[in-house]
Each structure stands twice: as C-alpha cells, then as structure tokens.
Amino acid sequence: MAASITPVIMPKWGLEMREGTIAAWLVDEGARIAVGTPILDVETDKISNAVEAPDPGLLRRKVAQEGETLPVKALLGVLAEPEVGDAEIDAFIAAYEVPAASEDGDEGPALYQWVEVDGLRVRYARRGPDSGVPVLFLHGFGGDLGNWLFNLDAMAEHAPAIALDLPGHGQSDVRLPGTTLAELAGFVARFLAAIDVECAHLVGHSMGGAIGAQLALDQPGLVASLALVNSAGLGDEINADYINGFVRSASRRDLKPAVELLFADPSLVSRALLDDLLKYKRLDGVTELLEALSASLFAGGRQAQSPGRGLEGKDVPVLVVWGAEDRVIPAAHAKNAPAGATVEVLGGAGHMSMMERANEFNSLLRRHVMAR
C-alpha cells in the first residue's frame, strides 16, 4: 500500500529556488537509511547541500539521475520496506505528480514584504501559519534574510517564520538606527510592533544573536525564547581579518578569501554567493555603514559588548548552536552560555552552521521552539 512508501523530493532551499541539479547520489539502492542520513547532493545556482532522509527507511529506487535538473518537489527517490512490491513502487512513481509551482510562483503573493520602521524601509519574509508565536530570524553582520534559506521554510511548517533584512543590510534602506546593540535591538522591537507581533522566538546568527540577547535583556516580554547561532555577545574575540576583509573588499578576488572564512568547506563559496554580496556592498553608503557598525561593535578584533553573558538567571530559554570549526567567532564561546541553556557544537561546520549543517540545525531549533 502506498502509505508505506516515502518519497524523497527535491527540497526548496530559500525563497527563490525553483529547481536543483542532482550532483551525486550518496547511498546505493538497498541501503538502510536513518533520519538525517545524507542521501544525495543537490546543487542550485546559489549553493549545494545534501538532501537528508526525512524518515527512516530502505532506499528502494533512485528516480532522479545524476546531472539531472528537476523542479522543487520533484520525486528524487523512494523509500519503502522490503514487503512493498516493485510493482507498487512502479505505480507510485508513475502516479507521482510534481505539485504545481506553489503559492510563491510569479502570480502568487509577494516573496517579500516591506514595512517602514522609523522612516526606514525594511524588507522581510513571512512564511507558514497565521497563528502561533512567530519565530524571528536575525542575520549577522553583512548578511541578509537569505542566510536562512535552508531554515525559514523548514520552521514555517511548524510556526510562523519571519526573517528580516536588518537596517543597512540586504535590501532594507542603507541607513542605521544607531550602531550599538541597544539601538539595533530597539529597532527590532519596533519592527515587531510594526508587523503586529507581540512576542516571538528569536533566532540570531552572529551579530544577530547579540542583538537578540540584548533584546531579551531590554524587553524580556517580547522574547519567548532565544536561539544563539555562532553568536556574538558570548565572548570577547572576533576575527578582525574577516570583518576587515569583508568590509574593505571591492572586488570578487579580494572578497573571496574573506567569505571563505565563513565556511568549514570553502568550496561552498559559489560565484553566485559572491556576486550577491558584491551587489550589496557596491550600493552607495554600504561600505561606510559597515565600517561604522564594525568600529562600534568589533573594533580591533574585540567584541565591545557581551549581552549573552547577561542572560544568566534570566527567565528566557536559550539554545546555543555552534559550528566546531568557526573561524570568525570561536566555538569556545559556547561555554559562556547561561546555565540551563541547551548547547550543541556541530562538527563539520564553520561560522554558517545553520547552512552547513542545516538539517541538524533545523531539528535542534524545532525541538527548542516546540518545547515552549
């Protein structure tokens, strides 16, 4: 019966992904697969990543071939127990239809929304159900909401998921409400008010984590829980080579080595990723803005403030996730997490652990958020 057949489908990584190319199968037909086993590598024009098993099972059929480019949700393979006959699997494959381009197609509602906060235009994405306590994703220094491409839709299956471009970042206006964590946290609070959110789970990466921690200290009522990902604000050091390299590089050739510091596997830095970063950095005012922000928060390779260390004894549940090979903020800072926090250090990941170990990260975050 078809109920015992589990399809493996082309994932949707990020709001703009339409299709992916099968780079390689990582397991053979007949292999027993546990949840989280990487099954195959998929490449998009932005990034490549492993598709992992959604459920345990036996890989019975590779439907997609290596080198093939297929739309999101296309059938890639079939998991089923031995008692399911080949004929049933054939019938399942024959009957499988790729769901039509979903609600985020060209005719659907906009991928991104805009709201004005303090006269500053902010881009954000909101996905998932209308009700429930939303999860707000805060990217890091020089990043944008696209940093959460593997995470936003996964979270949106369980709760409203919102990601914004912080002021001066992504496609939000090139202007800052201030360069201190308190000013940035205040801005995030006013952003939440502007989109009618009274309380949210905060997920902050790097500088975004420090902003989240600051907000939890300043306005605890707004914060249902806190997830700090390779976060600033838990220790002193930060790699000045990365910060300066990122801020000052104007060309692809100069920028690439800086961006490679973000990943445990530098080959993840694609041409498209660098192009997107350069497009942002070339905007009038961005370099000066990043210089001002880094001078305020990260001068001389030291973090000016550590709000994460002030969370001790506060009533907010904290999850701390780190990539063991982080070359921007050392994973050793995870030990400064407040008592009672859940701490996970993921191997094989650098500063962008939510991208590099997306599936583990998503499970950790789901458990953290759903426990509340």
Partner 1 sequence: MARKISMKQAINEALDQEMTRDPSVIVLGEDIVGGAGGDGERDAWGGVLGVTKGLYAKHGDRLMDTPLSESAYVGAAIGAAACGMRPVAELMFIDFMGVCFDQIYNQAAKFKYMFGGKAQTPVVIRAMVGAGFRAAAQHSQMLTPLFTHIPGLKVVCPSTPYDTKGLLIQSIRDNDPVIFCEHKNLYGFEGEVPEASYTIPFGEANIVREGKHASIVTYGLTVHRALEAAVTLAKEGIEVEIVDLRTLSPLDMDTVLESVQKTGHLVCVDEAHPRCNIAADISAQVVQQAFGALKGPIQMVSAPHCPVPFSPVLEDLFIPSGAQIAAAVKRTLAWGKH
Tell whether the torsion through CA atoms of 211, 216, 220 and 224 is positive or negative: positive
Q: Over the Cα atoms of the chain, what is R_g? A: 21
Task: Check: CB of residue 28 under 8 Å from CB of residue 59.
Answer: yes
Please give the Cα distance from 208 to 170 (Å, whole number): 14
Say whether residue 267 binds partner 1 (CB under 8 A): no
* Contacts with 136 (C-beta within 8 Å, 6 or more apart), sequence order: 162, 163, 164, 188, 192, 197, 200, 201, 202, 203
Nearer to partner 1, 270 or 363 (CB): 270
Per rule CB under 8 A, is residue 62 in the interface with partner 1?
no
Stretch that binds partner 1, among 204-212, 275-283, 293-301, 339-347 (CB under 8 A): 275-283
Instruction: Select the span of 46-54, 281-289, 305-313, 349-357 touching partner 1 (CB under 8 A).
Output: 281-289
Show contacts with partner 1 in window 110-169 (CB under 8 A): 114, 123
- Write the DSSP assignment of 74-134 as a string of letters: -EEEEEE-TTS-HHHHHHHHHH--PPPS-TTSTTSS-S-EEEEETTEEEEEEEES-SSS--
What is the rounded distance in angstroms from the CA atom of residue 204 to the CA atom of residue 16? Answer: 22
CB of 43 to partner 1, least distance (A): 12
24 binds partner 1 (CB under 8 A): no
Q: How far apart are the first and last CA of the chain?
A: 37
Among the listed residues 193, 283, 332, 370, the single contact to partner 1 using CB under 8 A: 283
Among 90, 105, 108, 271, binds partner 1 (CB under 8 A): 271
Number of residues that bind partner 1 (CB under 8 A): 13
106 binds partner 1 (CB under 8 A): no
Give, as one character, the DSSP assignment of residue 216.
H
324 binds partner 1 (CB under 8 A): no
Provide the minimum distance between the beta carbon of 14 and partner 1 in the complex, in angstroms, as a whole number: 16
Distance in Å, CB of 165 to partner 1, minimum: 10
Rank residues 123 and 205 by Cβ distance to partner 1 and give the closer one: 123
Q: Rule CB under 8 A: say whether 251 interacts with partner 1.
A: yes
Nearer to partner 1, 195 or 316 (CB): 195
18 is an interface residue for partner 1 by CB under 8 A: no
Taking the C-alpha atoms of residue 361 and residue 355, their distance in angstroms, rounded to an integer, is 8
Beta strands in 109-214 (DSSP E): 113-117, 120-127, 135-138, 161-164, 200-205
Residues that bind partner 1 (CB under 8 A): 114, 123, 171, 174, 250-253, 271, 279, 282-284
